[in-house]
Amino acid sequence: MSNKNGFTLLEIVISLAVISISMVVLIGALNRAITSAHDNNVLTDAVMLGSEKMVVATASPGVPEMGNGDWQTDDRFAGFRYRRVVEETVWPNVLRITINVDHNQKNAFSVQGYIVKP
């Protein structure tokens, strides 16, 4: 019986196959994690922008102009745009304000609030 040290070619091929499959799975998981982090960042910025514009709309004195506003941008939020929509409700003297926020022409966030006409 001979004394053989080392690995056979078959053992090396199998170990490389296992490592390759593991790397593919890890790269896929990393890609999903990066995409998820980016989506969360977009949503956080959209919520901040929409919430700020809703506070401005509801805290401003007087009655806001009815209808769909034009899309506007804010220099602090690159790639985002927002618009304010003011509508009558079924209740007298109550207006619904909707702030729509888009990111790269896709809807990212909407928030609604109500105000009572003075």
Torsion region of 42: left, alpha or beta (phi above 0 gives left; psi -120 to 50 gives alpha): alpha
Q: Is residue 4 part of a domain?
A: no
Specify whether the CB–CB gap between 71 and 81 falls below 8 A.
Answer: yes
Q: Is residue 2 part of a domain?
A: no
Question: What three-state secondary structure class fits 4?
Answer: coil
Helix (H) or strand (E) holding 16: helix 9-59
Estimate to the nearest angstrom the gap between the alpha carbon of 54 and the chain centroid: 18
What total number of domains does the chain contain? Answer: 1
What CATH number does the domain containing 62 carry?
A: 3.30.1300.30
* pLDDT given for residue 3 in this prediction: 65
Chain segment 39-69, per-residue pLDDT in tens: 999 999 999 999 999 999 888 888 788 889 8
Q: Is residue 1 part of a domain?
A: no
> pLDDT tens digits for the chain (118 residues)?
566 777 788 989 999 999 999 999 999 999 999 999 999 999 999 999 999 999 998 888 887 888 898 999 999 999 999 999 999 999 999 999 999 999 998 999 999 999 998 7
Q: What is the domain extent for residue 112? A: 9-116
* Residues sharing a CB contact under 8 Å with residue 73, sequence separation 6 or more, in sequence order: 80, 81, 82
